[in-house]
Amino acid sequence: MARDNDTDYNEEGVEVPFEALDAAALRGLIEEFVTREWSELSDSGYSLEDKVEQVLRQLKEKKVKVVFDLTSNTANIVVSR
């Protein structure tokens, strides 16, 4: 089932503390997120490592959070409200 971009920020699920994920799982989630969400920014001058560090910093600052979507059975990173 196709979903529009708005559903990424309105997912129905449970918040997963990023600290509860092992380092490899967290890194994979963040890498998937930045390559999907920032694909149009490939000329931005930021490396993959730069983007990963930015998202990790936002997780630590609680600006974004990891959510497990109960409908799609997938994890995503969404803006905290």
Q: What is the pLDDT of residues 36-63, one digit of tens each?
A: 887 665 566 788 899 999 999 999 999 9
Do 78 and 36 meet the contact criterion of CB atoms below 8 Å apart?
no
Q: Indicate whether 16 pLDDT > 70.
A: yes
Residue range(s) defining the domain that contains residue 40: 11-79
Within-domain flag for 4: no
For the chain, the average pLDDT equals 84
Predicted pLDDT at 49: 94
Instruction: Please give the single-letter amino acid code of residue 46.
Output: Y
> CA of 67: how far to CAs of 10, 39, 79, in Å?
10, 21, 10
Percentage of the chain surpassing pLDDT 70?
Answer: 78
Do 69 and 12 meet the contact criterion of CB atoms below 8 Å apart?
yes
Within-domain flag for 3: no
Within-domain flag for 40: yes
